[in-house]
Amino acid sequence: MGDCKVIVRQEQNRAEHIDILRIIACFMVIFNHTDERGFWRYAYNDRGTALWIVNLIPSIACKSAVPIFFMISGALLLRKNESIKKTYGRIRKILFDLVLFSILYFAVDSYLNGNKFDLKEIVSTMIQSNYWHLWYLYSYIIFIVTLPFFRDFAQNLRFRNFKILYVLAIVTMGIFPIIEYFFGGINPCLKPSWITINIFIYPLVGYMIENKINSDSVKSRHIFQAWLINVICFAVSIISEYFYLEREPGSVAEIFICLFCIINASTVYLTVKWIVGHQKMKSGISRMISKVGKCTFGIYLLHILLLWRIQPFYRFCIKYFETGKVGNEFGIYLSCICVFAIAGVVTCIFQKIPLIKRLF
């Protein structure tokens, strides 16, 4: 009986930290899409000033949003042993959402720009590119397609060999871009670029943290060490961006903001898992986190509408949150919170409607 209670508690912790990670990553995604209102705000500050750094740090941190989502997918799906039919059945929902929301966003943009709704153009754009944030759904579909044989690879990969892959990914994504830009390039044959593909390395990291690292074996000193390394990586990214802007004044370089996403995302994942595993959460808070966590996919699909496309809400945020002495720097976070909350409520309502709830 005692063993059963332990198992139940472990499953609850697992659900809680996964939902918390979803919430964190979803808010990061919203901030990533604020553009000059928030994400690129540092580019309008004097390079090297305290305000420049304060505005740059959230941009670096929030680029880990998609990596965290892919880590969650790897953590939950790579451990499963299910039929190919069931695995590929997951594609239907994602594909339907992709088509529906692509049409929705194109329709809204056509209306706002006074253009004629052109279905042929929508189909052409969906095949050749994607609508803004919906690129993630394309990548997720490919991740599902590769899942059957990716599972075999992940489940049979030794942890010591995974650590080699992890270090190679850090070098390829974090060190090589600095060398290439500031020192004139690297022989392409020396770069194992396949390791850095979103749908490979991040799901694999999530699977390993979730299923191969026992929270009880992780101590507070390990968390401290992880954050110390993370802070150092942030400093390297800030310094790289500083010298890039010295060479290219008036421009921005997202490549230097993304240098060490894998370390930041891993640190956030491990920290949240460790905290939840060592803290007993009140049942009311746990239920609330679970409800919000279930809404994050809907928030992801809807947030661009609120952030940029619904003009009354856009003007409200600009007027009341993002202007004025305080709002100029910090009001965008209030806007992001409002977008998250409203999209969450709308998603929650849609999830109660039988024919619509399958979309979210």
pLDDT attached to residue 225: 96
What number is the average pLDDT over the span 72-90? 92
What number is the average pLDDT over the span 98-105? 90
The beta strand positions in the chain, using DSSP E, are none
Whole-angstrom distance between the N-terminal and C-terminal Cα of the chain? 37
pLDDT in tens, 2-24: 343 433 444 445 589 999 999 99
pLDDT attached to residue 253: 67
Question: Residue 249: pLDDT band by 50, 70, 90 thresholds?
Answer: confident
pLDDT attached to residue 251: 73
Q: Is the pLDDT at 284 greater than 50, yes or no?
A: yes
Question: Residue 38: pLDDT band by 50, 70, 90 thresholds?
Answer: confident
pLDDT attached to residue 9: 44
What number is the average pLDDT over the span 336-348? 93
pLDDT attached to residue 14: 54
Which range has the worst mean pLDDT, 181-195, 261-275, 283-297? Answer: 181-195
CB atoms < 10 A from the CB of 72, how many? 22
Return the percentage of the chain with pLDDT > 70, whole number. 94
pLDDT attached to residue 6: 38
Question: Residue 139: pLDDT band by 50, 70, 90 thresholds?
Answer: very high
pLDDT in tens, 42-74: 888 888 899 899 999 999 999 999 999 999 999
pLDDT attached to residue 324: 55
Q: Is the pLDDT at 97 greater than 50, yes or no?
A: yes
pLDDT in tens, 216-243: 889 999 999 999 999 999 999 999 999 8
pLDDT in tens, 113-135: 777 877 787 888 788 877 778 99
pLDDT attached to residue 18: 96
Residue 233 near residue 174 (C-beta atoms within 8 A): yes
Average pLDDT, the chain: 87
pLDDT attached to residue 145: 94
Q: Is the pLDDT at 323 greater than 80, yes or no?
A: no
pLDDT attached to residue 4: 39
Residue 205 Cα distances to 184, 198, 267, 337, 338, angstroms = 31, 11, 11, 29, 32
Domain positions in the chain are: 1-32+280-360
pLDDT attached to residue 238: 94
Question: Residue 186: pLDDT band by 50, 70, 90 thresholds?
Answer: confident
